[in-house]
Amino acid sequence: MVPTRLRDILSIRWALRCTTPQASDTILGQGRAAGGYNAATLDPTQRGAGFLLAEGSMPVPMRAYFLGDNDVTTLTRRAYRLREAAGTLPASDARPGVRLLKALLTAFGERDRMWSTDLLAELTQQPGHTDWDPSRLSAQLRPLGSASSQLAIEGVNRNGYRRGDLLRAQETV
Domains, the chain, in order of start with CATH, read 4-63 (no CATH), 96-172 (1.10.10)
Residue bearing the bigger pLDDT, 89 or 97? 97
Cα(66)–Cα(87) distance, rounded to whole angstroms?
Answer: 30
Q: Specify the pLDDT at position 5.
A: 80
Using a cut of 0.95, tell me whether the model's pTM lies above it: no
pLDDT digits (tens, 9 = 90+) for 36-51: 999 999 999 998 999 9
Contact 114, 171 (CB under 8 A): no
Q: Specify the pLDDT at position 41.
A: 96
Across the chain, what does the average pLDDT equal? 90
Q: Specify the pLDDT at position 97.
A: 87
Q: Please calculate the CA angle 148-153-155 and round it to the nearest 5 degrees.
A: 130
**128-135, Cβ contacts within 8 angstroms, sequence gap of 24 or more:** 128/99, 128/103, 129/100, 129/103, 134/159
Burial of 40: CB neighbours in 10 Å, binned 0-12, 13-18, 19+: middle
Q: Specify the pLDDT at position 90.
A: 75
Cα(111)–Cα(130) distance, rounded to whole angstroms?
Answer: 21
pLDDT greater than 70 at residue 153:
yes
Helix, strand, coil shares of the chain, percent, nearest 5, are 45, 15, 40
